[in-house]
């Protein structure tokens, strides 16, 4: 993002008072009025200083087209303000009320099979519906006019998780908007026909009106059409974000605007690198997933969110105190888990830690989702740990406003490669872009080496080592940038299925990895994907899965770092490094997973002259996130293991941690925050 645009929450008591935000989505409309007073007491006891209000309140605020009911919201705003709690006020447009969808069924999304997505849950609106847009902007305007001057108002919260349920809409509105988007991108039908390679399968268009979204077809829809539809769908939601934002900015130019992103897991419909510049500060929602890399995935997501925010603070809008309700089995967090998750986000730049939601609902679809106040009430372990976290965040006020300290290593993330790399009719359907990126991240955590997860379009020049996993889409300009990075002494690492296509999803001819072939000093004629469950051995003593390549070395400066021992390519290179000038370009041709990558990493670190900042006994045991105010650095040491970790060799002034200075060990799930003067 353009970091100059950054404008943080407007705390009601005036700017300059450094603090970390702490709170939740607050849904008072679900409760009788007397509960609100209890809420205020408990919020204060828990250290809550900000809440998001009115996220799903459209039907309550506007019970019918020309009837408005603001009384309850006036009262909630006043009450919160009287208790010193700031409000991130939603535009309330996330879920249209029944009267609107009944009167205007043309706002309802349509799936790829032509079926209507009916109301009854939430977010049943087409991002491109002019009718929905008109009603949503009317509501946003009404809220801005009424509450723009309210002293509790700290920020605007546009909609909610834009695209959570409605990113892909195949309706006629979407078709018309898609055509307009394509006209803007390609200018002429000839150019579209070229980009979409429509000479294949007799798909040539002779009129714009013939073009449709990739609805269910007889076989694989045109891949460039699919990729463009993904780009368009992200843009359509971004357009909605901008439309609401512009209404708010016109009426309340001093109030910062945000919307909650979903940088987590396999949520991939929205290109947040492209969206980040549209908001005054970046917000994210993250829920802990399950599996052996769950904690690393949280760290990865927080880290990437920090990059989207340009290294500036960002707002954790939602996570959970304990279980969620939408996984196959919803596990409660173990003691210490909630604080550890929260502080990991803070370490990676969050200046506000908020939850879905304040009080656990008694009815509705999310009644089994945890909250700050559980069904058991405030006399509960969950609420006691919430209050403990509130106190911790108050003690961590010195980190508020500090920036990320750049790591020596970057992992480049690219939405286009995520989208295009996982399209159908490919060498394998088993490839998972984000998983490969996460495996690299885990590998760096295991080695105790800090790595920033960055957008591929960010300035990469300061990183000694740059890993670009499955960088599938490489337009010519990106190939030039990467060549420039290596020429100026950078050390690039990429993997299987990288450099294969340009921005139109057309293969770079002459042998793989196409756009990166010369830089890597290798050539591949045919891909060698592996069936599920099959593995090949490498001479490093590790195994590869998913993919292999039959590599020919084409440059004498390319060194073979590892060789296949088994499989069709036995005896041939599996991992290579080409040194050129002060830089290098390495290629990993198979999926090694964190364990296998761990065997290759020492070589890559060696070539790039990168080493861990941690003492040997702590490497791999703690996740280290570092923030800085330029004078002091703040080290967040997060225990990633289930055992006690000795941190006595890492000195510093403890801002948070077990018994502060007295104990230099960290128990499972504990976090220590140290203030250390800049070296
Ligand atoms: C988010 C959403 C919240 C709540 C939460 C449950 O997707 O913004 O409203 O549904 O998930 O985990």
- Identify the pLDDT of residue 18: 78
Q: How far is the CA of 641 from the centre of ligand 1 (A)?
A: 28
3 state DSSP class of 286: coil
69 lines ligand 1 (CB under 6 A): no
pLDDT at 201 over 60: yes
Q: How far is the CA of 320 from the centre of ligand 1 (A)?
A: 9
Place of tokens 């888990």: 337
The domains located in the chain, with CATH, are 3-168+237-401 (3.20.20.80), 409-608 (3.40.50.880), 616-677 (2.60.40.1180)
pLDDT at 14 over 80: no
pLDDT at 261 over 50: yes
For ligand 1, what atom is nearest to the CA of residue 287? Answer: 12
Of 16-30, 109-123, 650-664, highest mean pLDDT: 109-123
Q: How far is the CA of 324 from the centre of ligand 1 (A)?
A: 9
330 lines ligand 1 (CB under 6 A): no
* Nearest CA-CA partner of 112 in 168, 46, 195, 178: 168
pLDDT at 454 over 60: yes
Provide the 10 A C-beta neighbour count for residue 367.
12
Distance, CA of 222 to CA of 425 (rounded, Å):
10
pLDDT at 425 over 90: yes
Choice from 318, 325, 361, 365 to test ligand 1 binding pocket (greatest atom count within 8 A of CB)? 318
Q: Out of 161, 278, 422, 483, which one is annotated catalytic?
A: 161
Confidence of residue 1 (pLDDT cuts 50, 70, 90): very low
Q: Three-state SS across 633-654?
A: EEEEEEECCCCCEECCCCCCEE
pTM: 0.98
On average, the pLDDT of the chain sits at 96
Confidence of residue 386 (pLDDT cuts 50, 70, 90): very high
287 lines ligand 1 (CB under 6 A): yes
% the chain with pLDDT above 90: 95
In this prediction, residues 156-162 reach a mean pLDDT of: 98
161 is catalytic: yes
Residue ID of nearest Cα to ligand 1 atom 5: 356
Q: Is the previous residue joined to 513 through a cis bond, with omega within 30 degrees of 0?
A: yes
Residue ID of nearest Cα to ligand 1 atom 11: 356
For ligand 1, what atom is nearest to the CA of residue 56? Answer: 9
* Nearest CA-CA partner of 232 in 168, 171, 277: 168
Provide the 10 A C-beta neighbour count for residue 246.
13
**Which residues make up each annotated binding site for substrate?**
122, 160, 326
pLDDT at 4 over 90: no
Residue ID of nearest Cα to ligand 1 atom 9: 356
Distance, CA of 21 to CA of 7 (rounded, Å):
15
Distance, CA of 397 to CA of 525 (rounded, Å):
56
Do the strands 350-355 and 314-318 form a parallel or antiparallel pair, or are they unpaired? parallel
Residue ID of nearest Cα to ligand 1 atom 12: 324
% the chain with pLDDT above 70: 98
DSSP label of 570? T
- Identify the pLDDT of residue 656: 75
- Identify the pLDDT of residue 663: 73
In this prediction, residues 472-481 reach a mean pLDDT of: 98
CA 375 to chain centre: 30
Q: Distances from the Cα of 300 to the Cαs of 136, 225, 444, in angstroms?
A: 34, 30, 11
Q: Out of 244, 278, 297, 318, which one is annotated catalytic?
A: 318
318 is catalytic: yes
For ligand 1, what atom is nearest to the CA of residue 161? Answer: 8
289 lines ligand 1 (CB under 6 A): no
Condensed to tens digits (0 to 9), the pLDDT of residues 109-126 reads 999 999 999 999 999 999
414 lines ligand 1 (CB under 6 A): no
Provide the β-strand partners of residue 558: 578
pLDDT at 2 over 60: no
DSSP assignment of 430-454, as one string?
---HHHHHHHHHHHHHHHT--EEEE
Strands in 259-402 per DSSP E: 260-261, 283-285, 314-318, 350-355
């Amino acid at each position: 993002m353009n970091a100059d645009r950054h404008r943080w929450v407007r705390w009601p008591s005036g700017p300059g008072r450094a603090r970390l935000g702490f709170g939740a989505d607050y849904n008072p409309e679900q409760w009788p009025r007397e509960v609100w007073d209890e809420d205020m007491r408990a919020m204060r006891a828990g250290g809550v200083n900000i809440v998001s209000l009115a996220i799903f309140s459209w039907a309550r605020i506007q019970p019918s087209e020309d009837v408005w009911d603001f009384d309850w919201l006036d009262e909630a705003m006043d009450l919160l303000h009287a208790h010193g709690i700031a409000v991130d006020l939603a535009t309330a447009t996330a879920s249209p009320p029944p009267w609107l969808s009944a009167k205007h069924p043309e706002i309802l999304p349509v799936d790829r099979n032509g079926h209507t997505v009916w109301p009854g849950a939430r977010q049943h609106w087409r991002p491109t519906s002019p009718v929905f847009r008109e009603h949503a902007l009317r509501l946003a305007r009404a809220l801005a006019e009424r509450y723009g001057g309210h002293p509790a108002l700290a920020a605007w919260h546009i909609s909610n998780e834009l695209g959570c349920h409605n990113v892909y809409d195949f309706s006629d509105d979407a078709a018309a908007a898609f055509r307009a988007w394509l006209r803007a991108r390609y200018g002429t039908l000839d150019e579209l026909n070229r980009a979409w390679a429509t000479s294949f399968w007799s798909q040539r268009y002779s009129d714009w009106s013939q073009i449709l979204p990739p609805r269910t077809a007889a076989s694989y829809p045109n891949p460039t059409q699919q990729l463009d539809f993904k780009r368009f769908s992200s843009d359509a939601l971004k357009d909605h974000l901008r439309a609401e934002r512009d209404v708010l900015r016109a009426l309340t130019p001093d109030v910062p605007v945000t919307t909650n992103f979903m940088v987590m897991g396999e949520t991939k419909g929205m290109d947040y690198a492209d969206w980040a510049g549209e908001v005054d500060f970046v917000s994210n929602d993250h829920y802990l997933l399950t599996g052996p890399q769950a904690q690393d995935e949280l760290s990865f997501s927080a880290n990437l969110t920090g990059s989207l925010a340009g290294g500036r603070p960002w707002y954790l809008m939602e996570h959970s105190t304990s279980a969620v309700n939408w996984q196959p089995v919803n596990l409660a967090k173990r003691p210490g888990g909630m604080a550890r998750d929260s502080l990991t986000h803070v370490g990676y730049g969050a200046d506000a830690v908020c939850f879905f939601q304040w009080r656990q609902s008694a009815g509705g679809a999310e009644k089994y989702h945890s909250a700050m106040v559980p069904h058991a009430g405030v006399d509960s372990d969950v609420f006691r740990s919430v209050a403990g976290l509130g106190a911790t965040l108050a003690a961590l006020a010195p980190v508020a406003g500090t920036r990320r300290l750049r790591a020596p290593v970057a992992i480049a993330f690219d939405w286009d490669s995520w989208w295009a790399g996982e399209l159908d009719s490919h060498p394998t359907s088993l490839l998972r872009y984000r998983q490969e990126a996460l495996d690299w991240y885990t590998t760096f955590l295991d080695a105790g080496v800090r790595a920033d997860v960055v957008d591929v379009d960010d300035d990469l020049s300061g990183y000694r080592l740059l890993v670009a996993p499955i960088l599938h889409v490489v337009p010519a300009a990106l190939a030039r940038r990467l060549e420039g990075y290596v020429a100026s002494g950078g050390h690039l690492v990429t993997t299987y299925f990288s450099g294969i296509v340009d921005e139109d999803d057309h293969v770079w001819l002459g042998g793989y990895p196409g756009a990166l072939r010369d830089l890597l000093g290798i050539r591949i004629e045919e891909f060698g994907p592996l069936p599920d469950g099959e593995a090949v051995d490498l001479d490093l003593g590790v195994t590869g899965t998913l993919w292999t390549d039959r590599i020919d070395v084409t440059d004498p400066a390319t060194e073979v770092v590892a060789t296949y021992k088994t499989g069709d390519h036995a005896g041939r290179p599996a991992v290579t490094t080409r040194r050129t000038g002060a830089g290098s370009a390495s290629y990993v041709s198979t999926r090694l997973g964190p364990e296998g990558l761990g065997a290759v990493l020492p070589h890559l670190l060696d070539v790039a002259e990168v080493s861990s900042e941690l003492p040997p006994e702590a490497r791999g045991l703690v996740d280290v996130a570092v923030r800085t105010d330029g004078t002091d650095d703040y080290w967040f040491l997060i225990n990633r293991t289930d055992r006690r970790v000795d941190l006595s060799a890492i000195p510093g002034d403890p801002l948070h941690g077990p018994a502060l200075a007295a104990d230099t060990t960290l128990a499972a799930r504990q976090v220590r925050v140290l203030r250390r003067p800049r070296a």
